[in-house]
Chains A and B, each alone.
Chain A
Amino acid sequence: MAEPMGFYTDTTVCIGCKACEVACKEWNQLPARNGGVGVLSGDSYDNTRALDGTHWRHVKFIEQFSTDRQDGRWLMMSDVCKHCAHAGCLEVCPTGAIIRTEFDTVVIQSDTCNGCRDCIGACPFGVIGVNPVSGTAQKCTLCYDRMKVGLEPACAKACPTKSINFGPIADLKQMARGRVGQLHEAGEGRAYLYGADETMLGGLNSFYLLVDKPEVYGLPPDPRLPSRNLKRSALWSTLGAVALAIMGVFHFRERGGRPGRREGDDV
């Protein structure tokens, strides 16, 4: 297996240019929404709105301004699939279409997916969507085809400020920790890494440097695997099944007032 590869996104240097979005769309030949007719969202400069089957990169714009607009800041973040070490989508996929690659990334094989959409609800980050052209679930592949020939993903290549960094996970983590230290020294004490350690789904192969709570960026504070509910749900259902069986036996077995019992049956 090759070395685990991934993204480290430093949101403090993102300028919201959306070059990553465009490069991703172009390289992966993703179709435009609504036939290319743009409809403004009214939400800052974010007209992509969310990650889905045709938007595998999404630049978020978060405006934090005081009511008199004298004080404030922009937060920008290029969001993407997290390629979780323990991936909820991979866990539930009933067709085996979602696989872990030799680069430790998570890829949906479009020719195997049958569009059941179980992975969409299972993803704790809301990353996956259906591509209306293929009818299958799709998301970032971390440019698996480019990685196979030694190229970096299109988004990282296009990023003009090095907000999106691509490379071996171990190197990226080292780089990210250094950057957090640098920011702390510079007085930005709010800087921290989201998803870089193994406590979050075994570690995210696409992790972030943030300067506010995850919720502010639209990221879940405590993402978990869907299978956490499996055993307890199954247990309750089994108890219910036993209760129904007992109820059925109680109501259906031969009772005193009901004539017509089969010959030879025991009471």
Chain B
Amino acid sequence: MSSTFFTASPQWRWFIVAYFFLGGLAGGSYFLATLLDRFGTERDRPLVRLGYLVAFPIVCLCGLVLTVDLGRSERFWHMLVQSETFRPMLKTYSPMSSGAWVILLFSGCAFVSFAGAVAARGWPRWALLRHASPEAPFGRLVSGLGAILGLYLAGYTGVLLSVTNRPIWADTTLLGLTFLISAASTSAALLILLGSWSGLSRDHLHPLERFDRSALILEALTIVALVASLGRIATVWLDGWGVLLAGMLLGGIALPLLLEWRQPDTNRPVWVAPTLVLLGGLVLRMVIVLSTDRL
């Protein structure tokens, strides 16, 4: 029996599941918006703005759920500042410590890009906000940095789980990769969904749909590799959690891929596949976080 089965559960539950999901969406949306900004066309501009508009509110929500989950919420700042000396508190080898700083820095970048995206709509007409635009040198610098931090935010949560001694989490080193790829697929799905709701045509959404298909294939391969890397320990999922994971693979990855590939240009509602992908991303985190609670 693996030594990880002799440990106690930190009882990270729904708030943490929500944080892992939302953190992936915030970081992933920002990353995709920046990529579309740098490598896309003028037609992609609405999607770029959308990515920056959603990333900031979502990362604010992340901070909120994380703070609420603490046993002593009023001490959330102890993650960043030493409570006795008021010096910065950072342990580069502790994913939770570095993650707290990344959330803070990413929030700053997300706020600047959010302000730039709001200003691009024509209001408010503050001169300062012009610098926040991704087209301005300062905004460009911030969005480049934010994209890297966004990827970190999307993936470090899995690394954080692996850097424990809990069963499943510490028995593989692929959780960070899995969460990162899943964050990319769910973020693309979110932008497709919001883009279609805001009236963007299929042609506008096409690059994201293509990206999402590739991300979903990569995600399926990563999950298979994750289960394989667990070896015999994966047998703990021979229960309801395993059924849920299999359901996620079928409903959250295979079915959306099938829907996209079989009839990509019909009048089928755009929201079906991205909604399934988003639900799949949530279920994936549920299974990984909650299934170890009783082990």
A189 at the interface (CB under 8 A from B): no
Q: Which of B42, B151, B158, B163 contacts A227 (CB 8 A)?
A: B163
Please count the residue pairs between chain A and chain B whose beta carbons lie under 8 angstroms apart in the complex: 224
Say which one of A24-32, A70-78, A129-137, A152-160 lies at the interface with B: A129-137
Q: Assess whether A248 is in contact with B72, with CB atoms less than 8 Å apart.
A: no
Q: Mark A27-57, 1 if CB is under 8 A from B, else 0.
A: 0000000000000000000000011100000
Residue of A nearest to B3 (CB): A220
Give the secondary structure class of B's interface: helix
Q: Once the chains bind, are A88 and B89 in contact (CB under 8 Å)?
A: no
Which A residues lie at the B interface, using CB under 8 A?
A: 50-52, 88, 91-97, 111-118, 120-130, 134-137, 215, 218-224, 226-227, 229-230, 232-234, 236-237, 239-241, 243-245, 247-249, 251-254, 258-262, 265
* Tally of contact residues, B, Cβ under 8 A: 72
Rounded to whole angstroms, the CA-CA distance of A112 and B76 in the bound complex is: 10
Q: Which residues on B are within 8 Å of A, measured CB to CB?
A: 1, 3-12, 31-32, 35-36, 39-44, 69-73, 75-76, 78-79, 82-84, 89, 91, 93-97, 100, 151, 155-156, 158-160, 162-166, 169-170, 173-177, 180-181, 184, 203, 206-208, 210-211, 214-215, 218, 222
Shortest Cβ distance from residue A212 to the other chain B in the assembled complex, whole angstroms: 15
A240 B78 Cβ-Cβ under 8 A: no
Contact of B7 among A121, A245, A265 (CB under 8 A): A121
The answer to whether A243 touches B71 (Cβ under 8 A) is: no
**A124 x B159 contact (CB < 8 A):** no
Given contacts A116-B79, A230-B93, A233-B173, contact A248 B39 (CB under 8 A): yes
A117 touching B42, Cβ below 8 Å = no
* B residues less than 8 Å from A260 (CB atoms): 41-43
B82 → A minimal CB distance (Å): 6
Residues of A within 8 A of B4 (CB): 220
Query: Which chain B residues lie closer than 8 Å to A135 at the CB level?
Result: 71-72
Establish whether residues A120 and B41, one from each chain, have CB atoms under 8 Å apart when the complex forms.
Answer: no
